[in-house]
Amino acid sequence: MFKGLQPILYGGREVWPLIEGGKGVSATNHASSGAWAAAGGIGTVSAVNADSYDPDGRIVPQVYKSLTRRERHEELIQYAIDGAVAQVQRAYDIAGGKGAININVLWEMGGAQRVLEGVLERTKGLVTGVTCGAGMPYKLSEIAASHGVSYLPIISSARAFRALWKRAYSKAAEWLSAVVYEDPWLAGGHNGLSNAEDPRKPQDPYPRVAELRATMREGGISDDVPIVMAGGVWRLDEWANWIDNPELGTIAFQFGTRPLLTQESPIPPGWKARLMTLEEGDILLHRFSPTGFYSSAVRNPFLRNLEACSERQIAYTPVEVGDHAFQLDVGIGTKKNYWVTRGDLQHAREWFGAGYTEALKTPDDTLVFVTPAEMKTIRKDQADCMGCLSQCAFSSWADNEKNSTGRLADPRSFCIQKTLQDIAHGGPIEENLMFAGHSAFRFKNDPFYSNGFVPTVKQLFDRILTGA
């Protein structure tokens, strides 16, 4: 047992302060979260469009049959509720009364409040708490309290928590069981970088967490309410000065990346094998996500293609003005006026000659050049939108009266629902978005994983308890 690590009281029982991160679409399910809880920790089911099952136990494909986005959005919400309920029920059975089961939702996912309400209504007594981030989930506390479950907001700064506390959470303080600090430079998936923070200049998490604790104390929150360090956590001996530290109060640790490589992890074998080959720097903090958030993922050909697409981009004006004195003559219809600079006209002609013959408009008055096949895929994915986000830059969907963001759909982004569902269910790992934290490169050199060893969740949990 690592020195100083003590169990905490959560959900009426003692558990180890080790939380499994609830990762995305089907990257964390009942098998891994149930096993994590059975080992004595807090397992987290991802309630983001989770898999449901038919009577024979087979995964139900999430196929959308409706013609309109609004109708497909309703299908998506029902899939999401049914899937999360199924995952919670199975995880609870696997846990066998040990540890605790949380669910994780993204506040910016489509129909988030309806999904959360629907899941909690059908899982009474099974879910201990709800972790929630990706946005400012002001209503999280109200929903959790109404269902008698704890809530664990995911934030990336003391400032964000202060706003949530003052506006909403202070009214349901008794149900706040922890605050998750998700480091925006280290965590996998979507990250909470603000406009004031430089994505290229990571900050030390310690002073940021100390500031968070100070903010919590200002609100009268006990030091017994843990702050959960999430992002970049690999082994506990690297965080020894955080444990039993009076300045920080009670600290728990969230492990998101390491549980991906376990026997119970639901990600496909190819994904697991790829994790063992990553080098430092192979994880890219990028801003291609249709959510508008920064996110971290493996820099595979899928991401490289998005980078290349954005590099094949030129600004235009609808009339001749200043340096924009040359009329674009490739990649566009004959009846449109696009005025560009001399240099950009030359770039456009070169891209056209290389096969990138289609110019697509972006919301920023630029044109990106893609191949005809790429354009066909982009247009189809945009047309097939089912409203998986509260607002989507790629399709212009928004969960409002008009179902529109009011902005032009952005071809520089991608359908996140499509790619995450595909990679989680055996699709090609080089052609899809592969989320991972920035410590994923450590699989390759950590002796625990030597000779291709893939542990069970229990073996990993016990290893983490030793500090290694």
| Radius of gyration from C-alpha coordinates of the chain | 23
- According to DSSP, residue 242 is labeled G
pLDDT band at 30 (very low <50, low <70, confident <90, very high): very high
Give the per-residue pLDDT at 144: 97
pLDDT for 350-399, tens place per residue? 999 999 999 999 999 999 999 999 999 999 999 999 999 999 999 999 98
Q: Which residue matches tokens 């929630």?
A: 132
Is the predicted pLDDT of residue 444 greater than 90, yes or no?
A: yes
Is the predicted pLDDT of residue 334 greater than 80, yes or no?
A: no
Are 424 and 266 in contact, with CB atoms under 8 Å apart? yes
Distance CA 170, CA 219 (A): 8
Distance CA 313, CA 309 (A): 7
Mean pLDDT across 202-219: 97
Q: Residue 451 CA to chain centroid, in angstroms?
A: 30
Q: Provide the token pair at 91.
A: 């995880």
What per-residue string of b and e applies to 261-299 under the rule 16 or more CB within 10 Å gives b?
A: bbebbbbbeebbebbeebeeebbbbbbbbbbebbbbbbb
* Of 279, 276, 225, 289, the residue nearest 251 (C-alpha): 225
pLDDT for 97-118, tens place per residue? 999 999 999 998 999 999 999 9
Q: Give strand pairing partners of 364.
A: none
Domain ranges of the chain: 8-277+443-465, 301-424
Mean pLDDT across 162-175: 96
pLDDT band at 1 (very low <50, low <70, confident <90, very high): confident
Distance CA 416, CA 419 (A): 5
pLDDT band at 148 (very low <50, low <70, confident <90, very high): very high
pLDDT for 243-259, tens place per residue? 999 999 999 999 999 99
pLDDT band at 8 (very low <50, low <70, confident <90, very high): very high
Give the per-residue pLDDT at 24: 79
pTM over 0.85: yes
Query: In degrees rounded to 5, what are phi and psi of residue 308?
Result: -65, -40
The count of other CB atoms within 10 Å of the CB of residue 154 is: 28
Longest CA–CA separation in the chain, Å: 72
Return mean pLDDT, the chain.
94
Q: Where are the beta strands (DSSP E) in 299-417?
A: 313-315, 326-327, 339-340, 358-361, 366-370
Give the per-residue pLDDT at 2: 83
Distance CA 266, CA 272 (A): 10
CA distances from residue 150 to 94, 383, 407 in whole angstroms, order as listed: 21, 39, 37
Contacts of 375 (CB under 8 A, 6+ apart): 358, 360, 411
Distance CA 357, CA 375 (A): 10
* Of 226, 198, 202, the residue nearest 212 (C-alpha): 226
CA distances from residue 375 to 271, 332, 369, 378 in whole angstroms, order as listed: 28, 13, 9, 5
Give the per-residue pLDDT at 29: 94
Give the per-residue pLDDT at 41: 98
Distance CA 101, CA 222 (A): 23
Q: Which residue has the higher pLDDT, 295 or 17?
A: 17
CATH no. for 8-277+443-465: 3.20.20.70
Is the predicted pLDDT of residue 43 greater than 90, yes or no?
A: yes
Mean pLDDT across 410-415: 96
Is the predicted pLDDT of residue 335 greater than 70, yes or no?
A: no
Contacts of 25 (CB under 8 A, 6+ apart): 46, 48, 49, 50, 417, 420, 421, 424
Give the per-residue pLDDT at 401: 85
Mean pLDDT across 225-245: 96
Are 380 and 365 in contact, with CB atoms under 8 Å apart? no
Distance CA 411, CA 426 (A): 25
Mean pLDDT across 160-169: 95
Q: Residue 205 CA to chain centroid, in angstroms?
A: 19
Is the predicted pLDDT of residue 458 greater than 80, yes or no?
A: yes
Q: Which residue has the higher pLDDT, 116 or 335?
A: 116
Give the per-residue pLDDT at 318: 94
Give the per-residue pLDDT at 377: 97
Is the predicted pLDDT of residue 211 greater than 70, yes or no?
A: yes
Mean pLDDT across 160-184: 96
